[in-house]
Structure 1
Amino acid sequence: MELSFEKYLKEKTALPDSAINTIKGLAIPLTVNKNEFLLQPGEVCRHKIFVETGLLRTFSIGDDGNEHTLQLSPELSWTLDVESYDCETPTRINIGAIEPSNVLLWRKADFNTLLHELPLLKKYSEQVISNNIYFSRQRILTTLGGTPKDKYEEFTQRFPHLLSRLPLRIIASYLGISVKTLTRIRHAQLHP
């Protein structure tokens, strides 16, 4: 059986099998339990993370104790704290598992070597970064100018497969609204 990461790279890139094997060979496989953290405030993000199975969440906790979900990373997606990783400074965020997850980690030096030696991987990596920037910009615009209903509708369009996998408190923290508001929106959709 072909592993999901290898299948993912074959579908997304034109990398030959030998390059895929090289990339996979430098990966550190890790199983993460539900509610276990890969990164916590004060630590330096030292790895790029690919989610093979499961679901991760990148979030911060405000001074008031409220959680603010910045990113959801389901299977076949990448995550890291870019600022901490690039600048090698302590992070202010958490990356934790919402579900039991299997991930692959690459040390920064190893991944930089791969990018240097494999131009097709570098090109694909740049596409992933660009797509994340485009999505983040759209999310910021919706967050700043959209109603709670607009935010929820955009979420359901982007992540329909996650609705049944996420507790309401995490969806609400991703949208920047209260659980009470989210419950009211969902109730109105079910009972027009």
Structure 2
Amino acid sequence: MTTGFDTYIRSRISLDDAAIEQIVSAAKAISLQRNETLLQQGQICRHKVFIVKGLLRIYGIGADGSEHILHFAPENNWAVDPQSYHQQSPSQFTIATVERSEVLLWAKPDFDRLLQEIPELNMLSGQLVASSHFNNRQRLFTTLSSTPEEKYEDFVRSYPDLLARLPLHMIAAYLGISLKTLTRLRHAQVRR
């Protein structure tokens, strides 16, 4: 399972084998079934999660009980609730698998130690946080300013490989539109 992480980390930063082994040995590798929860709303996020294989989603539940998906995390991505993780406070969100997944987990104290001991990892972590911040701002702007058609077209353009892996109700929950609207948009697109 760790070879996927080895390939990922080597493509991002220059580290010797000993440093990579140090990072990998601090992680716990686990396999998860479809719809399995890693973090439940109200729990404290105590781990950074790297997805070696599979697909996770981060979501919250609205006052009306509807699911609102903030983020999908496929292979070679990280999943964490940053506010809960850094403040060690109860999470407002849930992290769960969409499909069978293999992940690596680092407990916060272990990952914090690695960030201090391996400057390149600390720099990569900062770059990932900055990239996430940019992507979240862009997504927020798209959500607030775009029509349902534009939101769907942006999703298709940005995540073409996820279309076949996600049920329609999850795509609708990510876009902030009803399943009925998404179905109408898809049918209109097919007719063009």
TM-score, structure 1 normalization: 0.98
Q: Distance in 2 between matches of 1:188 and 1:12?
A: 40
Change (3 A) 1:2 1:102: closer
Q: Distance in 1 between matches of 2:32 and 2:82?
A: 21
The match for 1:24 is 24
Task: Look up the equivalent residue of 1:136 and give its one-letter code.
Answer: N
Contact 2:55 2:101 in 1 (8 A): yes
Aligned-pair CA distance for 1:5: 0.4
The match for 1:128 is 128
Q: Distance in 1 between matches of 2:107 and 2:119?
A: 18
Aligned-pair CA distance for 1:176: 0.3
What whole-Å deviation, never above 9, does each CA across 1:62-103 have from its counterpart, x for those lacking one? 121110001100011001111111111111211000000000
Q: Distance in 1 between matches of 2:98 and 2:181?
A: 22
The match for 2:65 is 65
Q: Which runs of 5+ in 1 are unaligned?
A: none
Q: Distance in 2 between matches of 1:180 and 1:36?
A: 27
Contact 2:2 2:52 in 1 (8 A): no
**Does 2:106 align with 1:106?**
yes
104-113 or 12-21, which deviates more: 12-21
Q: RMSD over aligned Cα, in angstroms? A: 1.1
The match for 2:82 is 82
TM-score, structure 2 normalization: 0.98
Contact 2:59 2:68 in 1 (8 A): yes
Aligned-pair CA distance for 1:13: 1.0
Q: Distance in 2 between matches of 1:138 and 1:22?
A: 35
1:35 is paired with a residue whose SS is: coil
Aligned-pair CA distance for 1:42: 1.6
Q: Distance in 2 between matches of 1:128 and 1:15?
A: 17
1:172 is paired with a residue whose SS is: helix
The match for 1:56 is 56
The match for 2:146 is 146
Aligned-pair CA distance for 1:154: 1.1
2:122 is paired with a residue whose SS is: helix
Task: Look up the equivalent residue of 2:16 and give its one-letter code.
Answer: P
Aligned-pair CA distance for 1:32: 1.0
The match for 2:15 is 15
What whole-Å deviation, never above 9, does each CA across 1:3-25 have from its counterpart, x for those lacking one? 10001111111122111110000
Query: How many equivalent pairs are there?
Result: 192
- After superposing on structure 2, the runs of 4+ consecutive aligned residues of structure 1 that deviate more than 4 Å are none
**Superposition pairs of residues 135-174 of structure 1, within 5 angstroms:** 135-174=135-174
Identity among equivalent positions (%) equals: 47
1:10 is paired with a residue whose SS is: helix
Q: Which runs of 5+ in 2 are unaligned?
A: none
Aligned-pair CA distance for 1:40: 0.4
